[in-house]
Amino acid sequence: MMAAMKLGQIAELVNGELRGDPQLPISGAAPISRVGNSQLTWLTDPAYREQVQKSPAAAVLVRRELADLTKPMIICTDVEMALSRLLNAWAPPLPHPPVGIDSRAVIGTQVELGEDVAIGPNVVIQNGASIGARTIIHAGCFIGEQSVIGDDGLLWPNVVIRERTQIGQRVIIHPNAVIGADGFGYLMQNGEFKKIPHIGRVRIEDDVEIGAGSCIDRAKCDETVIGRGTKIDNLVQIGHNVHVGPHCCLIAQVGIAGSTELGHHVMLAGKVGLKDNIRIGNGVQVAACSCVSANVNDGEIMLGVPAQSKSSYFRERATINRYSRLWDQVRELMNRVEQLEAANHSKTC
Q: In terms of C-beta density within 10 A (0-12 exposed, 13-18 middle, 19 or more buried), how is residue 35 classed?
A: buried
* HSE value, Cβ hemisphere, 13 Å, CA-based, for 269: 12
Measure the CA–CA gap between 32 and 319, rounded to whole angstroms.
Answer: 39
Amino acid identity, residue 297? N
Cα end-to-end span (Å), the chain: 95
- Residues 138, 174, 198, 240: which is the catalytic one? 240
Task: Say which residues have a Cβ less than 8 Å from residue 347's Cβ, sequence separation at least 6.
Answer: none
Q: Which of 188, 187, 247, 241 is nearest to 216 (CA)?
A: 241
For residues 31 and 25, give the distance between their C-alpha atoms in angstroms, rounded to a whole number: 18
Q: Has 96 been annotated as catalytic?
A: no
The residues near 317 (Cβ < 8 Å, ≥ 6 apart) are none
Distance from C-alpha of 336 to C-alpha of 232, rounded to nearest angstrom: 60
Residue pair 282/300 in contact (Cβ under 8 Å)? The answer is no
Give catalytic residue positions: 240
